[in-house]
């Protein structure tokens, strides 16, 4: 369980930072009121422009965070060790397959050699 919590933290925290940086860079170049979909999505007047900009900034941040989290998760998924991948072959009731038990016996015999 601890390993899973660490993996989640290693995915979400860096992606949060990258989401913030991506949002900052994107909205430094583009004004939310000038985006093509902003008129269709949010019919706003000048008096409520600040509130709608904050909404667009927030939605933009979560989109950048989502993409960064997907990238971090994929990296974490692909860098699993063979032992972690083989643990996935354990059945739902906790029993190992016969092949897994045989491999475990072979691995133990190999590691006991002088």
pLDDT tens digits in sequence order for the chain, 114 residues long: 678 888 889 899 999 999 999 999 999 998 887 776 655 555 555 556 666 788 888 989 999 999 999 999 999 888 888 887 777 666 444 555 555 555 565 555 556 655
How many residues in total does the chain contain?
A: 114
Please state at what angle helix 2-29 crosses helix 49-78, rounded to 10 degrees. Answer: 140
Provide the residue ranges of all domains of the chain, joining segments of one domain with +. Answer: 2-79, 81-114
Q: What pLDDT does 92 receive? A: 43
- Residue 93: what pLDDT? 44
Q: Which two tokens stand for residue 33?
A: 């009121």
Please report the DSSP string for 33-101 in residue order. Answer: GGSTTHHHH----GGGHHHHHHHHHHHHHHHHHHHHHHHHHHHHHHT--HHHHHHTTS-TTSPPPHHHH
């Amino acid at each position: 369980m601890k390993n899973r919590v660490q993996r989640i933290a290693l995915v979400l925290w860096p992606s949060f930072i990258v989401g913030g940086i991506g949002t900052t860079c994107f909205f430094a170049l583009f004004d939310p009121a000038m985006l093509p979909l902003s008129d269709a999505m949010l019919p706003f007047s000048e008096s409520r422009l600040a509130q709608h900009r904050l909404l667009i900034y927030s939605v933009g941040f979560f989109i950048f965070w989502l993409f960064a989290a997907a990238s971090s998760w994929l990296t974490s998924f692909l860098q699993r060790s063979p032992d972690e991948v083989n643990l996935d072959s354990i059945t739902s009731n906790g029993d190992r397959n016969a092949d897994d038990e045989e491999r475990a016996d072979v691995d133990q015999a190999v590691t006991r050699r002088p």
